């Protein structure tokens, strides 16, 4: 941050922040919003930043959507939080509405965060299979709590002692950077499972996967992969958990990304987008798995389980996503954004790849001067920083951890003009960095 350009109140703010704030993921962004509306966030001086990360990949309706504001106000004034064994109408209404979107998974529990919901999903898988071994992708992100963190391989494994016993990783297939060029994804998957089988004690519980690995660098599982993965799970009597934290609720052009492949997991986990920015997550599963949970006294008793206020919000989010055709909108606007990103790629040889679906897109930078296609985290970070100075927040992961992939995920209610503005700002940032 350039201290010389700060006003006196901003200097005081940062000085208090540096005295009191514990860092949890590198440096804080040098922009302090005081207000947010639609696709923009504003600071005290009225500077605006176009939010192409939907906050933390969650605000699919943009910021402070009037119907969400009204819902929060009404819920806070009527039914906020309850004893954890009490059900309420908003909770059952949301469970029913979610079940209608994926009828094979009609049993629902509502929680607060993605990590927490993955924790519950993994526990369910352990309880109903009797196993405890959990496989994930080597580029995965499922959360920061025990079981979810044990299945997260993208970052954060070192320094915290042992992960859960029985944690295994296999590589996700990458079309842009294949591990073994010329080897099919099916052969890679067979080989990975053969290796995991050798290590297993025969107690598999689950495979947990994101249909598009977002933090891993917008790695799309090729068509057919999820189906093959489900078959691998079935062969081993283990469950398939799909974590649709970022891909759920329309972002990829389908209500759920797994619908492109016609695959229904044993357990589906929703978070981020379900609350559109408020803390709400959900675990969805089948009647049979729910019955097995009942038989074995499944316990996941938390303070905010099935809380009515966030459930009211989730219900409204789902209503708006369906009513306003936001999955279709994500497909259409995503095509416009991708077209623009391809245009940038044609002008900058250091953009190696443009990928993703709907409004979940990634730009991968490459460092040609190294003579090979190395990822260029430095370039990605420089463009990210310059874009922010110009008024565009367009990369959710910063500083090295981005691995050179810029992730772009505007709200689903973004307008065509805002997409074009974002592309213009990105183009300028790239010109400046070049
Ligand atoms: C796919 C996925 N699952 C789970 C999580 C964890 O969610 P939370 O941070 O709400 O615990 C994340 C967070 O980035 C995520 O991207």
* Catalytic site includes residue 141: yes
Tens-digit pLDDT profile for residues 222-274: 999 999 999 999 999 999 999 999 999 999 999 999 999 999 999 999 999 99
Catalytic annotation, pick one of 210, 220, 244, 266 = 210
Q: Is the dihedral of CA 303, 305, 308, 309 positive or negative?
A: positive
Catalytic annotation, pick one of 243, 266, 307, 353 = 243
CA gap 430, 386 in Å, rounded: 8
* Catalytic site includes residue 37: no
Q: pLDDT-based confidence at 394, cuts 50/70/90?
A: confident
Give the closest residue to 350 by CA, choosing from 433, 419, 425. Answer: 433
Is pTM, for the whole model, over 0.85? Answer: yes
Cα-to-centroid distance, 182 and ligand 1 (Å): 33
Residues paired with 239 in a beta bridge:
206
55 lines ligand 1 (CB under 6 A): no
CA gap 345, 362 in Å, rounded: 12
**Residue 83: helix, strand or coil by DSSP?**
coil
- The DSSP result for 134-158, as a single string, is EEEETT----SSHHHHHT--SS--T
Give the residue, by CA position, lying nearest to ligand 1 atom 1.
245
Q: What stretch of H or E contains 433?
A: helix 416-433
* Catalytic site includes residue 324: no
CA gap 317, 61 in Å, rounded: 8
* Catalytic site includes residue 139: no
Give the residue, by CA position, lying nearest to ligand 1 atom 3.
142
Which tokens in the block code for residue 304?
A: 């905010």
* First-residue to last-residue Cα distance in the chain: 21
Task: Please give the class, per CATH, of domain 67-323.
Answer: alpha beta
CB-count exposure of residue 411 (10 Å: 0-12, 13-18, 19+) = buried
* pLDDT score recorded for residue 378: 80
Question: How big is the chain by its Cα radius of gyration, in Å?
Answer: 22
Q: State mean pLDDT over 135-145.
A: 97
Give the residue, by CA position, lying nearest to ligand 1 atom 7.
114
CA gap 293, 77 in Å, rounded: 35
Tens-digit pLDDT profile for residues 63-110: 999 999 999 999 999 999 999 999 999 999 999 999 999 999 999 999
113 lines ligand 1 (CB under 6 A): yes
Cα torsion at 255, 257, 261, 267 (round to 10°)? -90
């Amino acid at each position: 941050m350039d201290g010389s350009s700060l006003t006196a109140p901003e200097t005081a703010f940062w000085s208090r922040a540096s005295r009191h704030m514990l860092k949890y993921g590198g440096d804080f962004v040098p922009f302090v919003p005081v207000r947010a509306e639609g696709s923009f966030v504003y600071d005290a001086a009225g500077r605006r930043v176009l939010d192409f990360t939907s906050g933390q990949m969650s605000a699919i309706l943009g910021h402070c959507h009037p119907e969400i504001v009204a819902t929060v106000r009404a819920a806070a004034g009527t039914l906020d939080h309850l004893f954890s064994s009490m059900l309420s109408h908003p909770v059952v209404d949301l469970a029913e509405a979610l079940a209608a979107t994926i009828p094979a998974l009609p049993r629902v529990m509502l929680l607060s965060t993605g990590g927490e919901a993955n924790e519950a999903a993994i526990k369910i898988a352990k309880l109903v299979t009797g196993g405890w071994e959990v496989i994930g992708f080597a580029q995965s992100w499922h959360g920061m709590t025990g079981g979810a963190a044990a299945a997260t391989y993208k970052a954060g494994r070192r320094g915290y002692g042992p992960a859960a016993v029985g944690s295994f990783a296999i590589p996700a297939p990458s079309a842009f950077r294949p591990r073994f060029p010329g080897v099919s994804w099916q052969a890679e998957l067979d080989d990975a499972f053969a290796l995991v089988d050798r290590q297993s004690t025969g107690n598999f519980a689950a495979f947990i996967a994101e249909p598009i690995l977002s933090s891993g660098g917008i790695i799309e599982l090729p068509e057919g992969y999820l189906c093959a993965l489900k078959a691998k799970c079935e062969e081993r009597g283990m469950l398939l958990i799909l974590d649709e934290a970022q891909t759920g609720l329309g972002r990829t052009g389908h209500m759920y990304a797994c619908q492109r492949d016609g695959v229904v997991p044993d357990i589906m986990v929703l978070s981020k987008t379900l609350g559109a920015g408020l803390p709400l997550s959900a675990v969805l599963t089948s009647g049979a798995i729910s019955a097995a949970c009942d038989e074995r006294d499944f316990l996941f008793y938390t303070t905010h389980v099935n809380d009515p206020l966030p459930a009211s919000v989730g219900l409204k989010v789902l209503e708006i996503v369906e009513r306003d055709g936001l999955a279709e909108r994500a497909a259409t606007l995503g095509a416009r954004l991708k077209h623009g990103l391809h245009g940038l790629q044609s002008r900058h040889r250091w953009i190696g790849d443009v990928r993703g679906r709907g409004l979940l897109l990634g730009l991968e930078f490459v460092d040609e001067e190294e003579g090979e296609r190395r990822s260029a985290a430095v370039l990605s970070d420089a463009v990210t920083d310059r874009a922010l100075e110009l008024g565009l927040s367009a990369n959710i992961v910063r500083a090295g951890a981005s691995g050179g992939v810029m992730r772009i995920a505007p709200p689903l209610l973004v307008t065509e003009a805002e997409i074009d503005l974002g592309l213009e700002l990105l183009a300028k940032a790239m010109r400046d960095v070049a």
